[in-house]
Structure 1
């Protein structure tokens, strides 16, 4: 099941993985003046143990959908998506800029990448991609919102896990996103 299909079934705003290339030429929608989507400081996080060989903390109470390659956790306009795939080698900043970023720009809506860098996390080195994008249009109102996204690429022993975090642009989720990305552990 594709990410877009999984999230589309939820009826939520989300970054459109696998959207048609016409979406890539779309103009960025303006950021909301009072963006919704802050994860409350009081949010409880629980351990998620994936059958694909990793664990991490995710927000308790968010709608979970399991997929053959991972899972998604969604609450209103916020989302966490994890997926695993096979890879021959660990991604590098250069390989991500050359391959992953152009694919991301084609697949999602009005993408603007602001950073691609290697980061040191408790699970080891990872590549972090920071970007903004438009959400899918709401099925009823056709309204879109501007999203901020962080994507982490973790690699170990031929396995690549992608962690995608998204929320309305301007929402204050820095601490919660850091908690989740730092909590990732290989089994």
Structure 2
């Protein structure tokens, strides 16, 4: 009888230990305080996505106190921030941010640093292209990628987005222009208009 009880207790101790080790393993990456979260999965793009900017859309000049200007869609909801501004209409958006930089970004430096931070901070980000482009304002870096949107506050639904980012540099100043819309929306001409209209003041 004693041997039987010993075996049962020994087995239970083993199960408890294995369970504890499995749970503890979840906390390794968070310095013992936060569980490891699974990477966010890319949501499926919609078959008939909304988000096309109409061909009749009017664009107006936006001049930033940060020393640059460009054309943005008239009537979009504008929000000013300490580091820039955003213009949003439903699932489409234009985000401008300004920061300091020691040198102009290159394709190589963008891939090695900026893209890694973008993938780490974004939602299921998948970068498909990083290229140097010539624009009226000068040389810039263009980043093309897809990502998930923020969850809807009411439905918690997410949308797969297509994004373009342009990095403009001058005199220690880096301006980022982010353009986004549901994946599959046709905004090629409108996005080109905005990115090409960027100019330093």
Give the structure-1-normalised TM-score.
0.87
Kindly indicate whether residue 126 of structure 2 is the aligned counterpart of residue 112 of structure 1: yes
Superposition deviation, residue 53 in structure 1: 0.2
What is the distance in 1 between the residues matched to 2:151 and 2:99? 28
Unaligned runs of 5+ in 2: 1-35
Larger fraction in helix: 2
Runs of 4+ in 1 over 6 A off after TM superposition: none
Match of 1:50 in 2: 64
Q: Residues 30-82 of structure 1: CA distance to partner in whole angstroms, max 9, x if unpaired?
A: 11010000000000000000010000000000000011111000000000000
Larger fraction in strand: 1
Superposition deviation, residue 22 in structure 1: 4.6
Superposition deviation, residue 139 in structure 1: 1.0
Count of paired positions: 166
Match of 2:110 in 1: 96
Match of 1:136 in 2: 150
Query: Which structure would you say has the larger Rg?
Result: 2
Unaligned runs of 5+ in 1: 1-20
- Cα 1:46–1:22 change in 2 (3 A) is farther
More relative contact order, 1 or 2 (CA 8 Å, 6+ apart): 1
C-alpha RMSD of the superposition: 1.1
What is the distance in 2 between the residues matched to 1:67 and 1:139? 21
Kindly indicate whether residue 136 of structure 2 is the aligned counterpart of residue 122 of structure 1: yes
